[in-house]
A and B are shown apart, each in its own frame.
Chain A
Amino acid sequence: MTEPIDERLRSELQQHGVWVTSMQELYNWGRKNSIWPLQFGLACCAIEMIATAASRYDIARFGGEIFRPSPRQADLMIVAGTVTKKMAPQIVRLYNQMADPKYVIAMGACAISGGPFKQGYNVLKGIDRYIPVDVYIPGCPPRPEALLHAFMELQRKIDSQKLSGADKAEHLKPEQPSEFPVPLFGEHDLESSANPGVFHPPEIERA
């Protein structure tokens, strides 16, 4: 990477019909406008996700309409709905099978924290216990506009990712894991109940 071009010079050149860009901008522009989500839904949030993909809300306007039935071809995992403990290993397995760079949107209260089923014995208290989440959408379920907003937030995130340097994107760092351990079915609960390498709950000190 060379020195970034002066913004004033760039806009002046643009007025003369010369478009100057950088490899990073071009690369991120291409990536952010063609995000292929993984086609799967878990609960009622999936209905909103389907509505977002259909004609009324039309996620195709943002380049995210190609829902792929295979994790090998997907860039984005929209965790849309309640993740039961029986389903959690399969979600992590699907995430592991996706090719880098990959992103995760936790859609709705259940995917974030377990939601109204948080205290149930059978519901995972948030998918961020096992895989890293890029964008969280609150709501029960979130409206399609909220999913579109999350999608745009993700596009901003992709756009700001660096290709080189110390603060380059996580998926470009060879030491960063792109696969995470799949939790095992235990006798009483999943083993383990969270991946400490991924899950960092804020520590609240209380008397």
Chain B
Amino acid sequence: MESLEQIKARAERAVSGAQIAIVPNPGPAQQSSLLIDNEHAFAVARFLRDDPTLRLDFCSNVTGVDWLDRVVKKTVKMKRLVDGEEKEVDETTEEKIPGYLEAVYHLYSMTHKHGPVIIRIRTRDRGDGARLPSLTTIWRSAEFQEREIFDLYGVRFDGHPDLRRILMWDEFVDYPMRKDYREPDDYEWEPTPHDEVLEKAKRHYTQRPELDGAEKITAGGDALNR
């Protein structure tokens, strides 16, 4: 199969105006992906499916990713004149990146037996602008998975034939897979709580005003020594 750079170059030639960026993956999987702009995502996806040498006719997986607002700190070594001498100084720049949601598609070719090619599309923000073009009409298998992303991440897919919640009930308003989701408090009965569960369960504990302070005796014997 062609390299990602070749695919990017050919797709940009085939779809005029398309802006494609390669998102590198430095992890052991080495699965870098193509980030496609929203306006041309549909046309690029059609190119990936119909191009005779690529023919990515099978979309095996669609998933969502939630990226919160984040600050990226970059430290660059700069040469500066300090007291008439040239010295190397570390310069730190902070870049604020507003949050967004992503849909990631894993594409394979049944015809040529190659893949995966991974493409991403990003929403403008995590609020009203959480919209993406639906690729269901190109890969029919994306239908349920785009519904799942809509259900759990709250991304609206324009052009989807049947955009409803698929796992949660229709009356539900939250998006549970978002990183800022807070689950309902039903921790009233936790027999063996620990860590975060302990913190949540403690809100339901009954206080015992009749205690005489004996419960404060610790293994170290602090209360006894005082």
Taking Cβ atoms with an 8 Å cutoff, the residues of A that contact B are 85-86, 113, 119, 121-122, 125, 185-189, 193-194, 201, 203-207
Contact = CB atoms under 8 A, between A and B. Distances in A.
Q: Which of B183, B184, B189, B197 has the most CB of A within 10 A?
A: B189
A113 B167 CA distance: 21
Interface stretch (B22-30, B78-86, B204-212): B204-212
A185 B173 contact: no
Contact of A188 (B172, B208, B211, B216): B172
Contacts of B176: 121-122
Nearest to A203: B206
Given A189-B184, A203-B206, A125 B189 contact: yes
Contacts of B170: 185
Contact of B186 (A185, A189, A203): A189
Sort chain B's interface into a size bin.
20 to 34
Contacts, number: 49
B171 A86 contact: no
A122 B168 contact: yes
B186 A205 contact: no
A207 B186 contact: no
Given A122-B167, A125-B189, A205-B208, A188 B197 contact: no
Contacts of A189: 184, 186
B152 to A, nearest CB: 10
A201 B189 contact: yes
A205 B210 CA distance: 12
A187 B171 contact: yes
Interface string B183-208: 11010110100000100000001101
A51 B216 CA distance: 52
A55 B216 CA distance: 58
Count chain B CB atoms within 10 A of each CB in A85, A86, A186, A206 and give the residue with the most: A206
27 contacts: A86-B167, A86-B169, A113-B191, A119-B183, A119-B197, A121-B176, A121-B181, A121-B183, A121-B184, A122-B176, A125-B186, A125-B189, A185-B169, A185-B170, A185-B172, A187-B171, A187-B174, A188-B172, A188-B173, A189-B186, A193-B188, A194-B186, A201-B189, A203-B206, A204-B191, A205-B206, A207-B211
Nearest to B177: A121
Given A122-B176, A125-B189, A193 B184 contact: yes
Contact of B205 (A85, A121, A206): A206
A85 B169 CA distance: 9
